Amino acid sequence: MDFKNTIADILGSDAIKKEEIASSLAPTPSIDKGDVCLPCFRFAKSLHKSPQAIAGELKEKIDASAHPLIGKTAVEGGYLNIFLNRSEAVKEMMSAFRTNGGVTKPKPKNGKTVCIDYSSVNIAKPFHIGHLLTTVIGGSLYRIFNYLGYNAVGINHLGDWGTQFGKMIVAYLKWGDDADIEKRGVRALLDLYVRFHAEAEKDESLEAEGRAWFKKIEDGDSRALEIFNKFKEITLKEVKRVYDRLGVKFDSYAGESFYNDKMQPVIDELKAKNLLTESEGAMVVDLEKYGMPPCLILKSDGATLYATRDLAAAIYRKQHYDFYKNLYVVAYQQNLHFKQIFKVLELMGKTWAADCVHVPFGMVSLEGQGALSTRKGNVVFLDDVLNEAVEKAAKIIEGKNPELHDKEKIASDVGIGAVIFGALCSGRIKDLVFSFDKALSFDGETAPYLQYTHARCRSVISRAGVSEGNIDYGVLTDDDSFTLVRLLSSFDDVVGDAAARYEPSIVSRYLLDIAAVFNRFYLNCRIIGEKPDVMYTRLLLTQYVAEALKEGLKLLLINAPDRM
């Protein structure tokens, strides 16, 4: 039931448009304040009245409507609080769930494409804990936009270009062991990378050798490309295995090297539009009047940079995908970089530059670990973190339910889910210090808590063994039941809000709210053993809770086992 539109239809006028009211309506902070509230502060300036006076006038209007859905209203400060007629509201909402086949239902395709650039690992470098946030935020947004009917395109903009690959070839030729690389993969390549930098501190000539080998890659030297492609193959094989464990999907692995032949047209266009200026031998776009340092396009030796490639990539994506939105899930340290890129695109006359969005996030570290450094070899492999989480989950399950069927699969779902949820339960811009003990707790704001609540729902349904009956809507008008039904009715609104704000944690918080209210409902409202109609009605609500938890967790890349 869409309460917002119903209330907006009643309150809308020439002075305050229905759309404004619908977008302003929000759940009340507590059930004793009502079910929906309308903050009237935004209307004060245009109506030349105090928010409290506006709330009072709207109260009179909604009371006069005598709509069966609305029970009573109250003005508190500048807020109009609206109490719904619970029996009518429950009937509307539960009927809507039954008509729609449940609480959750992916939307029909809307014809709009959303490109999402995330994870973007570096070739020949480890997939470490620092990649966790970009990978799971981007992966979750990919599922969220697909659920809402968009065509999401997951792009892994591989770091597969630069002098470091010349250095890696030097290290491989001097100290590489094919058998070791075959056995240990990227970990062996990391050791070579670390050794190169240690040796280069003693022998500066190694840096020149590295640059020379990268020049060979640029020139298409067959031996250089053979070794470089070998590094790429090893890396992709390893990271794809980790992506499979996380449930993360990509539609494109077009990395930096893909844009080698696409940069010159961008440079030519910048020149033709008189946007390039010389600065100490380099070519830049002057952004001083926009409060930013110049955007470096070509170095003094003519070499291209990240900015050159990102401009080419954005233009290619618009031409190839005709995106509605083009998202970059990249750490907040790159805020300035993306502001520059988007401004340059705007100056080039790309009206779609406004559809390019940087989705920043904080830093991630493991509890008890210092700063990470690939050059020094101080990294924590993400695969190791997942393995440890699964092992710890297996021990917890063994202690709680040693007879559980399919323990290994469930331990994997719980352990990996704990790592993912630990990254997605707070606002993405916050720095994350990951703790195994906190993430794997079955109490509090964790994935195991949500998974256990889902399993509890399934257990109740299974034990009841009831599949048919009559609904008694009056059974669901108590505080816990009604709050639960109201929460479930907002599933699509919450997912839409998460997409609009590029913030998967909105879904996380919502699921935690559902779980908390369901567990109160479970304690306060007996299900099995009640009268047939009461039991059936509460079982149906339990089924909808299970569905919302399962599908909501799915949007967060997390599996929900039926038993735990």
Task: Say if CB 297 and CB 285 are below 8 A apart.
Answer: yes
Number of domains in the chain: 3
Q: Which helix (H) or strand (E) holds 39?
A: strand 36-39
Task: Indicate whether 276 pLDDT > 90.
Answer: yes
**221 lies in a domain?**
yes
Which residues touch 514 (CB under 8 Å, ≥6 apart)? 484, 487, 488, 545, 548, 549, 552
Task: Say if CB 358 and CB 331 are below 8 A apart.
Answer: no
**549 lies in a domain?**
yes
| pLDDT given at position 378 | 56
Distance CA 150, CA 436 (A): 35
**500 lies in a domain?**
yes
pTM of the model: 0.91
Domain boundary among 31, 52, 84: 84
Q: Which residues are catalytic?
A: 125, 128, 131
Instruction: Give per-residue pLDDT as tens, 151-196.
Output: 999 999 999 988 899 999 999 999 999 999 999 998 999 899 899 9
Q: What is the largest CA-CA distance in the chain?
A: 86
Task: Indicate whether 1 pLDDT > 70.
Answer: no
**223 lies in a domain?**
yes
Q: Average pLDDT in the 18-22 region?
A: 91
Task: Write out the residue range of the structural domain in which residue 432 sits.
Answer: 389-555
> Is 411 in the same domain as 511?
yes
CATH number where 72 lies? 3.30.1360.70
Task: Indicate whether 436 pLDDT > 80.
Answer: no
Residue 14: strand pairing partners? none
> Is 71 in the same domain as 172?
no
**240 lies in a domain?**
yes
Q: Average pLDDT in the 32-41 region?
A: 92
Q: How confident is the model at residue 506 (pLDDT cuts 50, 70, 90)?
A: very high
Mean pLDDT of the chain: 92
> Is 420 in the same domain as 549?
yes
| pLDDT given at position 432 | 82
Of 142 and 299, the one with more pLDDT: 142
> Is 518 in the same domain as 425?
yes
Domain boundary among 248, 267, 296: 248
Q: How confident is the model at residue 410 (pLDDT cuts 50, 70, 90)?
A: very high
Which residues touch 186 (CB under 8 Å, ≥6 apart)? 124, 125, 126, 127, 234, 235, 238
Kindly state the tokens that stand for 393.
């989950």
| pLDDT given at position 127 | 85
Q: Average pLDDT in the 494-509 region?
A: 97
Domain boundary among 67, 84, 101: 84
> Is 435 in the same domain as 548?
yes
> Is 63 in the same domain as 181?
no
| pLDDT given at position 443 | 79
Of 29 and 490, the one with more pLDDT: 490
Q: Which helix (H) or strand (E) holds 279?
A: strand 276-279
| pLDDT given at position 369 | 62
Distance CA 178, CA 172 (A): 9
- The rounded Cα 25 to chain-centroid distance in angstroms is 25
Task: Indicate whether 82 pLDDT > 90.
Answer: yes
> Is 59 in the same domain as 167?
no
Instruction: Give per-residue pLDDT as tens, 237-273.
Output: 999 999 999 999 999 999 999 998 999 999 999 999 9
Distance CA 84, CA 483 (A): 11
| pLDDT given at position 370 | 53
